[in-house]
Amino acid sequence: LSIEGGVAVASVGDESDLTRAIRDEIERLRNLVAPPAPPTYGPFQVLEALRSTLLVAASSLPVVFDIDEDLVAVGSPEDLAQVVHGLVSNASKYAPGSPIDVSAARDADHILVFVEDRGPGVARGKRDLIFERGWRASLEETEGYGLGLSIARDLITRAGGDLWVTPRPGGGAKFVVSLPRWQGLMSIDGSVTPGATTDLSYNASERTNTATLQEEERREGIKRLGGAT
């Protein structure tokens, strides 16, 4: 690029570079507005997915978490961590200084993750509204529960789960994240999300068999017992 009489004049090479730069910028903008690639889901240990997020949160917030190591869900560990991080962040804004409890449980088909605070809670008539895309609450609410809940629910529901809120016994809000429970016989399409374990074998009657090594040890024990008989 040269300057002649105060006017910028581009050489052929400069024009080529400029064209390439414009093309690259157009491609970058196209990628920004393009739909994201479909996520890859697989079995993962809930505690491992949330450990880092919760430890960081607990370093600056009154977060207490209690999650068993043998809880195995199907979905995206990154999505779950993002959702729980958002729920904890919202709870800290809506009930500053109050304890935030994060726990998990299972039922027959689901893994449930709970995030509980001790704030004023969510009014019955708004427990569905706060998850609606584009819904706007009052200023106080948009600084708390109104942030990102529609996105959070989308992340969970696309994995076959759900996200809702109920009153916390004793006051406050209790957000519930539900994901499919890993049964050990489910067919998972595609590769497992990084960090997930493909060889997990989970059975309700064998709570401790949550990793490949433990499963192999159990099988070896069965073989020895069979040989003894």
Q: What is the pLDDT of residue 97?
A: 86
pTM for the structure as a whole: 0.62
**Amino acid letter, residue 141:** E
Structure tokens, 117: 């605070």
Residue 211 phi/psi, 5-degree rounding, is -145, 160
pLDDT at 32: 61
Q: Is 93 exposed, middle or buried (0-12, 13-18, 19+ CB in 10 A)?
A: middle
State the Cα–Cα distance between residues 177 and 116, nearest whole angstrom: 11
Q: How far is the C-alpha of 205 from the C-alpha of 67, rounded, in Å?
A: 18
CB atoms closer than 10 angstroms to residue 64: 13
pLDDT tens by residue, 80-110: 999 999 999 988 888 888 899 999 999 999 9
Which residues on neighbouring strands pair with residue 175, listed in sequence order?
115, 165
| Of 56, 170, 189, the residue nearest 121 (C-alpha) | 170
Average the pLDDT over each of 23-32, 66-75, 119-128 and give the range with the smallest value.
23-32
d(CA 84, CA 104): 12
How far apart (Å, rounded) are the C-alpha atoms in residues 44 and 210?
10
Q: How far apart are the first and last CA of the chain?
A: 88
Amino acid identity for residue 89 in this structure: S
- CA contacts within 13 A on the Cβ side of 154: 8
Instruction: Dump pLDDT digits (tens) for 153-186.
Output: 999 999 999 999 999 998 888 999 999 999 874 4
Helix (H) or strand (E) holding 220: helix 212-228
* Both tokens assigned to 184: 């050990």
Residue with tokens 């299972």: 106
Q: List the structure tokens of 79.
A: 């999505």
Chain length of the chain: 229
Query: What average pLDDT does the segment 123-134 reach?
Result: 78
Task: Report the pLDDT value the prediction gives residue 127, as an integer from 0 to 100.
Answer: 81
